[in-house]
Copies of this chain bind each other. A is one copy, B any other.
Amino acid sequence: MRWIYADNREEYDFLDEIKKRAMETSHSTNETVTRIINEVREKGDAAVRSFGLKHDRASPEKFEVSKAELKQAYDEAEESLKKALQHAKDNITAYHIKQLQQGYEIKKDKGVILGQIVRGLSRVGIYVPGGTAAYPSTVLMNAIPARIAGVEEIIMATPPAVEMKEGQKPVCKGNPDILAAAYLAGVDRVFLAGGAQAVAALAFGTESIPSVDKIVGPGNIYVAAAKKLLFGQVDIDMIAGPSEILIIAEEDANPRYIAADLMSQAEHDPMASAILLTTSEKTAKETIQEIDLQKAKLNRKEIIEKSLADFGAVIICRSMEEMVTLANAIAPEHLELMVKDPLNYLPELKNAGSVFCGSYTPEPLGDYLSGTNHVLPTSGTARFASPLGVDSFIKKMSYTLYTKEALGDDRADILTLANKEGLDAHANSIAVRFEVKLERF
């Protein structure tokens, strides 16, 4: 880990370096993905199948997982998993249900009515990766807010897990934990298709996979590139960058906890970033010792070491104020406040995805169970972006009703502005309703 003394220069140089790590998609990735997209648009299921065979070694005969299979996956899951998923679902629901928005209507004089209608999207697609990054928690975090938002149909696409047996046809199945979570979260239809071809299928629709209005969920660089290229055809959530944690710790924070929490993000990805801000050199030193002690026992030791070496840092600050200023400049995905009276600092914190307050609110609690969403803005985008939530699955529509009398009252001002902007067909649409002559410009 880098060791930096904050001096208004060195720490900002480091931040600039960190920011550059979220690299652009390479030209060749974009070309490959554009080819896949075009082929899926043209050939539908056949293209999804042929890319599936190429990349996953197999593709199911039928993409869709039946409702009975979903239920079976849930029924057959271990009791401990079912209990944990149900607990998470309850907490996620309780947190997100407060995000529901209502439309409004304004009634004015002379019969004027203005309003805004809030609607859930018609159909949403959730992409869920397979392999080692198959996270049932992610299914809940995406599907539950969509359900609360009133989305009519939630579709999920996830790559098949392929079982190869000597002398037999390969068997394609979904990851059972993912299917169980989909069942519990109320996903309507699940398709075993992965990669850029699945994203393209969700965007355009094929013979068996319906097109959706928005695609959400994590994925590898091909999935990310496909989402980016198809944005506009469909809506997408953010393109997630590597995970980040920033911890602000005072002298009396426990270095064991700090070390554990830094590593809980570092283990995600060699590109992840874990940073400690503290006013105490002692805390910083002990945290580094603790990392050495604890990481020895962890499975993902190599990833953690690489991530901490490349994008980890301890920054020794001069005051709480300086730490808050730095946190706002970093705009981290996850921010832990290991300080006394952490809630007192919320008003000063402007830019962060999710804030974890105090010594017993470790970030993994939010990943799984407390109920806040774990899909959060990365790479400094917390300056302008929000956690995934009910908002992500609704849209708004405005409406207006005027009467002849009301329009008559406003007509002069509309004509003034239309004339100013040189748009006389705009002016004409008012003029014809009152049999007045159109002023020439």
State A369–B407 Cα separation when bound (angstroms): 10
A selection of 9 A-B contacts at a CB cut-off of 8 Å is A87-B410, A94-B106, A294-B428, A297-B438, A354-B399, A355-B400, A363-B429, A370-B410, A372-B398
Instruction: Let me know if B343 and A113 touch, CB within 8 A.
Output: yes
Does A154 make an interface contact (CB < 8 A)? no
Instruction: Let me know if B398 and A353 touch, CB within 8 A.
Output: yes
Q: Would A365 and B80 be within 8 Å (CB), given that A355-B398, A396-B386 are in contact?
A: no
Which of the candidate stretches A4-12, A53-61, A253-261, A318-326 sits at the interface with the other chain? A253-261
* Chain B residue nearest to A135 in the complex (CB): B421
Q: Which of B266, B358, B396, B425 contacts A304 (CB 8 A)?
A: B425
Interface residues of A in 85-104 (CB under 8 A from B): 85, 87-88, 94-95, 98-99, 101, 104
Nearest chain B CB to A424's CB is how many angstroms away? Answer: 5
Instruction: Let me know if B398 and A357 touch, CB within 8 A.
Output: no
Q: Would A117 and B346 be within 8 Å (CB), given that A83-B413, A416-B84, A425-B267 are in contact?
A: yes
Instruction: Let me know if B369 and A81 touch, CB within 8 A.
Output: no
State A300–B421 Cα separation when bound (angstroms): 12
Chain A contact residues, CB within 8 Å of chain B? 80-81, 83-85, 87-88, 94-95, 98-99, 101, 104, 106, 112-114, 116-117, 119, 121-122, 132, 134-137, 177, 213-214, 232, 234-235, 239, 256-257, 259-261, 263-264, 266-268, 294, 297-300, 304, 342-343, 346, 349-373, 379, 381-387, 389, 391, 395-404, 406-407, 410, 412-414, 416-418, 420-433, 438, 441
State A13–B351 Cα separation when bound (angstroms): 47
Instruction: Let me know if B414 and A365 touch, CB within 8 A.
Output: yes
